[in-house]
């Protein structure tokens, strides 16, 4: 078990399903290793182009997140999700990101937070999805 508080594999806790297209933006080099075991036929890309079933943005900066949020929202299908990931305070990685920042930026855009997850020893993530009335 890696950096989590559950016996469930990370991919399952994040909601990765069979045949998902996952866009990972600025992710750690070992992310695919952390996600093992994966469901069948999951594909990854590092580009912000096109639609995805899941987008994972790793950022240390509120300004970066604010700059990207509209594009992230356009990348997901109505029933898809965005994981916004930031360095945990305990990691000592300089950041001005937190759960509260994600909510402050995402909620006014019509997104709602539904789950938090420890990604690894450095990163935490908050899952945001479109509000039902916005879909």
Query: CB 112: neighbour CB atoms within 10 A?
Result: 15
Beta pairing class for 123-130 and 111-118: antiparallel
Confidence of residue 7 (pLDDT cuts 50, 70, 90): confident
Higher pLDDT, 48 or 123: 123
* Helix and strand numbers, DSSP H then E, in the chain: 4, 6
Tokens describing residue 74: 């356009």
Q: What does pLDDT average to over the chain?
A: 93
Which CATH class for the 10-134 domain? alpha beta
Name the DSSP letter for residue 9: -
Residues 15-37 pLDDT 10s: 999 999 999 999 999 999 999 99
């Amino acid at each position: 078990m890696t950096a989590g508080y559950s016996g469930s594999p990370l991919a399952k806790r994040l909601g990765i399903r069979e045949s998902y297209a996952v866009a990972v933006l600025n992710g750690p080099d070992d992310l695919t290793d952390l996600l093992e075991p994966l469901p069948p036929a999951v594909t990854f890309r590092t580009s912000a182009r096109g639609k995805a079933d899941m987008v994972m943005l790793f950022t240390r900066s509120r300004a970066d997140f604010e700059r990207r949020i509209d594009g992230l929202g356009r990348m997901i299908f109505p029933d898809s999700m965005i994981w916004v990931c930031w360095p945990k305070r305990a990691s000592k990685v300089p950041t001005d990101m937190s759960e509260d920042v994600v909510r402050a930026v995402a909620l006014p855009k019509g997104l709602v937070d539904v789950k938090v997850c420890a990604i690894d020893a450095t990163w935490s993530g908050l899952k945001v999805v479109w509000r039902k009335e916005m879909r």
